[in-house]
Amino acid sequence: MKKKENLALHGGTPIRDSYLPYGKQWIDDEDIKAVIDVLKSDFITTGPTITQFEKAIAEFVEAKYAVAFSSGTAALHAACFAAGIKENDEVITTSMTFAASSNCILYVGGTPVFADIDPKTYNISPQSIKSHINEKTKAIITVDFTGQPAEYDEIKSLAKEHGIVVIDDAAHGLGATYKEKYIGSIGDMTIFSFHPVKHITTGEGGIITTNNEDYHEKLLLFRSHGITRDSLKLKDNQGPWYYEMQELGFNYRMTDIQAALGLSQLKKLNPFLKKRREYAKKYSEAFADMNAVITPYQQDAANSSWHLYIIRLKLEKLNADRTEIFKALQKENIGVNVHYIPVHLHPFYQQLGYKTGLCPNAERIYEEIITLPLFPKMSEQDQNDVIAGVKKVITYYATD
C-alpha cells in the first residue's frame, strides 16, 4: 500500500468530500425549547435557572456546592481568588494545557511554576510537582488532560503534607472518574468548561464545584463585583435596599439563557460520554498495529471522559515531520488539531523569563502529537473516514 496511495496533499482525491472538524456541539430541539422558555420568562440573567443548573451539576459530580461563571477562564480566575493567591505566591501547574490554566495565576499576581508531564499519560507529573514545592507554593492547578484524571492520590498527599490547595482544571474532565469517584469532588475546587467543543455546552460558560463552604461564599462574592446583599454578612445595614462591595470582584455571572441550555444538555451527558468512549476505543483498536503511531495510554485507576483523542507520531519511523502529516490529514478533509503548544513557549511567557527546555517531556511530546476528530455527533462513517485517512497518510510516509 505504501507510496501507492494518492495523497490529496499531492493532488489526489481526498478521503472525504466535506471537512470534518475536530469538535462540535450537538444542539437539538429540546435545547432550543429550553432557551426559548427562558427568553419568554421574567428572567434572562441572574435568575432561578442558574441556581437549578448549579444544583444539577453539583449533584452529578457528588459535590456540595457549585458556582456558575461566564466562562471556564473566569472560573479559574475565581478559584485563584478564593484560594487566596496573591503577589509572590507560587502556583505549580502544567505547561501542556491551554493558556488559561496559568494565566489565571497571573491575574491575581501569583507566579506560575511549570511542572513537567508524565510521558505516558501527558498529565502533570507528581514527581515533578514535588521537586518544585517550596515555602512560596500556595496551590497546585492540575489539568485532566484530554479527559483523563491526574494522579490524585499522590498529588493530594503532597498538597496535604505542605498545606497547599489543589485546584483541578477539569475543562476536559466532566464525567470522568478517578478510583470510581467523579472528578468534581476530589480537588479543593474543580473547574469545568462549557465551550461548544466540550462535553456539554452553554455557548460560553464555566462552573466551579467544591465541598468547602468558605470557598463557596468567596466564589459567589467574586463573580458579582465583590458585592453582597446578605444581611448577615454586611458590615453595616442602612436598610432593605442596602448592599456592600467587600472585595474587588468581577462581573463573571452566567445568564439564565446559558443555564437553560446547560440544564438541557446535562440530560444528554451520559449518552454523550458513552459515544465518546466508544469512539475512543474504536480508534485505539484501529491504530493498535500501526508501528508509527502511539495511541493514548490510560491509567487503570481512571475512566477518561475523552474530550480529546490524541495520537503520537513515532517520527523516526516516518519520512515526514508532524507539520507535513498534519497538512496531509487536513487535505483529506479531516479536521485535525494540536493540543497544546506548551504554555511556557508562548512569546508572552518567554518575555516573562520562561525558557525553552523548562519542561522537556512536554516540549518533546508537543512536537509529536495530533488531535483527531472526536465528538458525539460524528457518524460511524465520519469515524471510518478518519481511520482510513490516518492509515492512508501514515502508510504513505512510513519508512517500513
> Can you give the pLDDT of all 400 residues of the chain as single tens digits?
444 578 999 999 999 999 999 999 999 999 999 999 999 999 999 899 999 999 999 999 999 999 999 999 999 999 999 999 999 999 999 999 999 999 999 999 999 999 999 999 999 999 999 999 999 999 999 999 999 999 999 999 999 999 999 999 999 999 999 999 999 999 999 999 999 999 999 999 999 999 999 999 999 999 999 999 999 899 999 999 999 999 999 999 999 999 999 999 999 999 999 999 999 999 999 999 999 999 999 999 999 999 999 999 999 999 999 999 999 999 999 999 999 999 999 999 999 999 999 999 999 999 999 999 999 999 999 999 999 999 999 999 999 7
- pLDDT for 8: 94
- pLDDT for 4: 56
* Residue 130 exposure: Cα atoms within 13 Å on the Cβ side: 10
Does residue 198 carry a catalytic annotation? yes
Cβ neighbours of 42 (radius 10 Å): 8
- pLDDT for 400: 79
Cβ atoms of 97 and 343 closer than 8 Å = yes
**Of residues 244, 364, 214, 209, the one with CA closest to residue 294:** 364
Chain Cα centroid distance, residue 278:
20
Q: Of 40, 55, 179, 198, which residue is the catalytic one?
A: 198
Q: Tell me the domains of the chain and their CATH numbers.
A: 8-24+269-397 (3.90.1150.10), 29-266 (3.40.640.10)
> Distance of CA 38 to CAs 44, 257, 258, Å?
6, 6, 9
d(Cα 170, Cα 359) in Å, to the nearest integer?
21
